[in-house]
Amino acid sequence: MNSWANIKTIAKRELGAYFTSPLAYVFIVIFLLLCGFFTFMIGGFFERGEATLAHSFFDWHPWFYLFLVPAVGMRLWAEERRVGTLELLLTMPVTAWQAIVGKFLASWVFLGLALLLTFPVVMTVNYLGTPDNGVIFTGYIGSWLMAGAYLAISCITSAMTRTQVVSFIISVVACFFLILAGFAPVVRFLEGWASPTMVDFVTSFSVITHFDGFQKGVLDSRDVLFFLSVIGFSLFSTSVILREHRN
C-alpha cells in the first residue's frame, strides 16, 4: 500500500509539473493541429466517403508520436540529472522503481489526456455517418498503448544522459526503427530477398504491425502483449541505468 502511495505522490507531482510550464499546452496544441490537418486535409477524410477513422486519422499516429512523445519524455530523467536533483530523489524513502513508475504513469496519463482531446474528430465522423464506435474505441486504446511504448523508450534515453536534446534524438532514432520494421516500402524490400519467416520476424518488432489490428477493431492479446512488453522491458532497463548511476 505504501508503495502505491509513493507512486501516486510522484505521479501527481510530475503531472502537475507539466501544466506549470508551457510544454503541456504547446504539445497539446501541436498534437491537435496535426491530427486535424492530416485527417481532413492530407488523409482525405471527406474524399474517402467512409464513416471510419482507420486510415485518415489513426494511420498518422505512429508518425506524430515519433517526435512528440520523445519531446515529452526527454525531460523525465535528463532534467533531474542536469539540475542535480536525481541523487536527492533516489535518497528519499522511495525506491528507484517507484520513482520510475510514478514518472512514467504521469507522462502516460498526460498523453492520454491529449489523445482524448481529439474527440471533435469522433463527433464529426458520427455527425456525417454511422461509424462503428467500437472500432474507433479500439483504435484509441491501441494509440494510447503505442504512445506508452514510445514513452518508455524515451525513459531509457532520458536516464542515459543529462542533456534533453541528446535524449530526444536517440529516442526518435530508436522509435523510428520500430516504425521502419513494418513500413510498407521496407517490407516490400525485405520480401524481395529475405524468406517469409525472416520478414515476419522483422515485422513482428514494428509498432505499425501491432497497431494495425487495433485500427481494424481487433483487440488481439498478442498486440496488447507486445506494447506492454516494450513498456515493461524499457522501464526495467531504465531502473538498471539509474541503479548504476546511484552506485
* 53 within domain boundaries: no
69 assigned to some structural domain: yes
Number of domains in the chain: 1
Evaluate whether 145 touches 228 at the Cβ level (below 8 Å). yes
Residue 181 makes CB contacts below 8 A (sequence gap 6+) with 202, 203, 205, 206, 208, 209
In the prediction, which pLDDT does 72 show?
Answer: 87
Q: Which domain holds residue 92?
A: 2-44+61-246
DSSP 205: T
For residues 151-170, give the mean pLDDT. 88
Give the pLDDT score at 65. Answer: 93
Residue 233 confidence (pLDDT) above 60: yes
Give the pLDDT band (50/70/90) at residue 140: very high
Chain segment 12-45, per-residue pLDDT in tens: 888 888 888 787 888 899 999 998 888 888 877 7
Q: Which of 183, 16, 215, 37 is nearest to 110 (CA)?
A: 16
pTM exceeds cut of 0.85: yes
- Give the per-residue pLDDT at 149: 95
Which cell numbers in the block locate residue 60? 498518422
Confidence at residue 82, expressed as pLDDT on a 0 to 100 scale: 64
CA distances from 3 to 8, 86, 98, 106, 186 (A): 9, 19, 7, 16, 44
pLDDT in tens, 178-212: 999 888 888 888 888 878 888 888 888 899 999 99
Q: Which of 130, 124, 122, 101 is nearest to 11 (CA)?
A: 101
pLDDT digits (tens, 9 = 90+) for 80-138: 666 556 656 666 667 778 888 988 999 999 999 999 999 999 998 898 888 889 999 99
Rounded CA separation 148/18 (Å): 17
Give the side-chain half-sphere CA count within 13 A for 236.
Answer: 6
Beta-carbon neighbour count of residue 4 at 10 Å?
11
pLDDT reported for residue 17: 81
Q: E-strand spans in 163-243?
A: none
What would the pLDDT profile of 46-93 be if each residue is shown by its tens digit?
777 777 787 788 989 999 999 999 988 887 776 666 655 665 666 666
- Residue 242 confidence (pLDDT) above 90: no
Query: Average pLDDT of the chain?
Result: 85
